[in-house]
Amino acid sequence: MSHALDALSDHRDALNDVSLAALCDAPGRRDRFVHSLDGMTVDLSRHLATEETLGLLVALARERDVERLRDAMFAGEPVNTTEHRAALHVALRNQSDRPMLVDGVDVMPGVRDVLRRMQAFCAALHGGDWRGATGERITDVVNIGIGGSDLGPRMATEALRPWWTSGIRAHFVSNVDPSHLADTVASLDPARTLFIVASKTFGTQETLANAHAARSWIVDALGGDAVERHFVAVSTDAGRVAAFGIDTANMFEFWDWVGGRYSMWSAIGLSIAAAIGFDRFLDMLEGAHGMDAHFREAAPEQNVPMLLGLLDCWYRNCWGCQSRAVLPYDQHLSMLPAYLQQLEMESNGKRTRLDGTPTSKGTSMVVWGAPGTNGQHSFHQMLHQGTTLVPCDFLVAASSCEPSPDARGDMLIANCLAQAEALARGRSLEEVIEDGTPPELAPHKVMPGNRPSTTILYPRLDPKRLGALIAMYEHRVFTQGAVWGIDSFDQWGVELGKVLAGEILPGLTGEGPVSGDAVSRGLAAEVAAMRES
């Protein structure tokens, strides 16, 4: 029972005939709906929201205690209640002198110690002091990890490709499909390749299987003694790292209060630091820390991540939106939609509240998207004229990282602004007919408009900006979860599939009986038949 949500639902009914074009044109709209954050503009004008909506959303945040829950997260309280853990990723980028406590113990000395070890490792790698077993310099680093131990570093290294000036190329292997490792190492020289085995638990089946296969690749080429110079680990479990055969002197620690999908700021980001250099990795942490301070200190009315999260709840719970599109008009952010899929859908794709009762309202939207302008030539059709309302995030830099002598950078921005405008304004039947369109064709050219979007504009994508941007999304997701009263930091829904895969595997390898339900057993039998034919 939520009075604030009921009030929002009534208010939404009153907005049935609202015109987004008229809202956008109203005097003073920019003053209230455009936010400036350390040089980044977050424009909320193109939302199906009035001053009153914002007031009601802030009332929702107050009713759901979002500020207190935020403070509890920053205080290291066990906000991940089903796993009895803190979710203190903000400590990983804490650049202040403020202690960050978990169970009454300041975690900052440990955080700084690992950062110093990462710094020393990067210096050795980049300076040529850390060499392969045959004395060659390392030129390629391959991160082996999956989920949170893959998507964050992969997204960030791609985003920061223009800063790959350390002489190290970063690669990522996540899929247990043997093709992923094979394709990745096909062009690499074992003598110059270093593997980072990144796994919080060091028990993830896919990662360990790939790490064993990578070790065979090194051993076959360079001999067993080479493993020590070609493998390092990032994990919370020193015992398992040692059991795998990696010297724990070459292990970078993190902690159980760092959730996998919130871990790119920890040593899980070692591949980022290896590619862009440690100082720039620190810049990324600094950008995130700035956003943390904003989220922690700004009043809800001015708190950008909080407002974004509240607007998500508005669309999900009052407009029935099932999905949100993330449209970076920035090629280097091509991995952002995939990264946000995990951040948002694994965090808030839940149906049970903290108190164990089922939710009565929708939770996580489906997050999807692709870089602009590519998407314009495929799925934007549905955004403009489909029967489903899909709020969009547009992200665009004022200046591309790649200066060009022609107008391509301006074309990119023009298209980004045009898409958001077209979605909001649409095109009426009258306008279409006025253009001389034949009557039988006119209905097909009508665009309903009133389709909301956020535009996030930043000067240029750099490590600090990326850090701020990702931290903004993290806190947006936190706000959604707080409103919905769910645990944003667990992921029990992924467990059943892992158990069933473990039961089905022996039947495929021939080491045990064929198991699974009738459909799985039937398909497993077909696999066997296809392999024999």
- Annotated catalytic sites, by residue? 346, 377, 498
Provide the token pair at 274: 């290896």
The reply on whether position 53 binds ligand G6Q by CB under 6 A is no
The reply on whether position 260 binds ligand G6Q by CB under 6 A is yes
The reply on whether position 148 binds ligand G6Q by CB under 6 A is yes
The reply on whether position 259 binds ligand G6Q by CB under 6 A is yes
Q: How far is the CB of 342 from ligand G6Q (least distance, A)?
A: 6
φ and ψ at 457, to 5 degrees?
Answer: -115, 130
The reply on whether position 200 binds ligand G6Q by CB under 6 A is yes
CB 422 within 8 A of CB 6: no
- Please name the amino acid found at residue 331: Q
Among 463, 333, 465, 475, CA closest to 40: 465
The reply on whether position 450 binds ligand G6Q by CB under 6 A is no
Other Cβ atoms less than 10 A from the Cβ of 516: the count is: 15
Residue range at the interface with ligand G6Q (CB under 6 A); choices 212-220, 243-251, 259-267, 378-386:
259-267
Question: Among residues 241 and 457, whose Cβ is nearest to ligand G6Q?
Answer: 241
The reply on whether position 491 binds ligand G6Q by CB under 6 A is yes
The reply on whether position 261 binds ligand G6Q by CB under 6 A is yes
CB 124 within 8 A of CB 294: no
295-324: contacts with ligand G6Q (CB under 6 A): none
Q: How far is the CB of 7 from ligand G6Q (least distance, A)?
A: 34
Question: CB within 8 A of 93, min separation 6: which ones?
Answer: 265, 285, 286, 288, 289, 292, 467, 471
CB 64 within 8 A of CB 361: no
Question: Among residues 263 and 419, whose Cβ is nearest to ligand G6Q?
Answer: 263
Among 349, 98, 486, 306, CA closest to 90: 98
Among 156, 148, 103, 93, CA closest to 259: 148
Total binding residues toward ligand G6Q, as defined by CB under 6 A: 14
The reply on whether position 149 binds ligand G6Q by CB under 6 A is yes
The reply on whether position 488 binds ligand G6Q by CB under 6 A is no
Q: What is the DSSP string of 115-162?
A: HHHHHHHHHHHHHT-SB-TTSPBP-EEEEE--GGGTHHHHHHHHHTGG
Question: Among residues 492 and 526, whose Cβ is nearest to ligand G6Q?
Answer: 492
Other Cβ atoms less than 10 A from the Cβ of 429: the count is: 13
Name which position in 20, 56, 91, 146 contacts ligand G6Q (CB under 6 A): 146
Question: Among residues 53 and 207, whose Cβ is nearest to ligand G6Q?
Answer: 207
The reply on whether position 376 binds ligand G6Q by CB under 6 A is no
CB 154 within 8 A of CB 143: yes
The reply on whether position 199 binds ligand G6Q by CB under 6 A is yes
The reply on whether position 207 binds ligand G6Q by CB under 6 A is yes
Write each residue from 335 to 364 as x if it is in contact with ligand G6Q (CB under 6 A), else as -, in one continuous string. Answer: -----------x------------------
φ and ψ at 456, to 5 degrees?
Answer: -110, 115
Residue range at the interface with ligand G6Q (CB under 6 A); choices 77-85, 156-164, 257-265, 475-483:
257-265
The reply on whether position 328 binds ligand G6Q by CB under 6 A is no
Residue facing ligand G6Q at closest CB distance: 147
Q: Tokens 């990723």 correspond to what residue?
A: 89
The reply on whether position 451 binds ligand G6Q by CB under 6 A is no
How many helices (DSSP H) and strands (DSSP E) are in the chain?
Answer: 24, 13
* Residues near ligand G6Q (CB under 6 A): 146-149, 199-201, 204, 207, 259-261, 346, 491
